[in-house]
Amino acid sequence: MSIKTIEKVKEIERQAEALERDYESQLQDLKEATETKITQLKETYESEIEKFKELEQEHLENKVKNLHTIIQKELVEQTVHLESQFKFKQQELVNEVVKEVMRRYGNS
């Protein structure tokens, strides 16, 4: 073989080694970029999940407050109704007692 051929082969080997190093470097950079992106996505995901939980908690608390208000209003309405019924029945009882007293003892 001639010296030029040997030099060409060595040059090709150097280029191949340089290509391999470049490939390994790019592959490592890609792996690091991928890991960074995955980490960022996980952080974003966790942050969004936390925001969602907070919003859901707030929504549920508002719902509970609204239900509590509705129940309190219904309780007041029922209490007023029952008191009215009680007074009405109490008056009926008084009227019946007066009628019975009048029937037994007259107007004397």
For residue 26, pLDDT over 90 is answered with yes
Residue 38 lies in a domain: yes
Residue 106 gets which letter from DSSP?
A: T
Q: Is residue 33 part of a domain?
A: yes
pLDDT at residue 1 greater than cutoff 70:
no
Residue 98 lies in a domain: no
Q: Which residue has the tokens 């029937």?
A: 103
Average pLDDT, the chain: 94
Q: Is residue 101 part of a domain?
A: no
Q: Using the CB atoms, write b or e for 58-74: b if 16+ within 10 Å.
A: eeeeeeeeeeeeeeeee
Q: Which range of residues forms the domain containing residue 41?
A: 1-79
Instruction: State the average pLDDT over residues 56-65.
Output: 98
Q: What is the pLDDT of residue 106?
A: 78
pTM beyond 0.75: no
State the total domains in the chain: 1
Q: Tell me the Cα Rg of the chain.
A: 46
User: Is the model more confident about 53 or about 98?
Assistant: 53
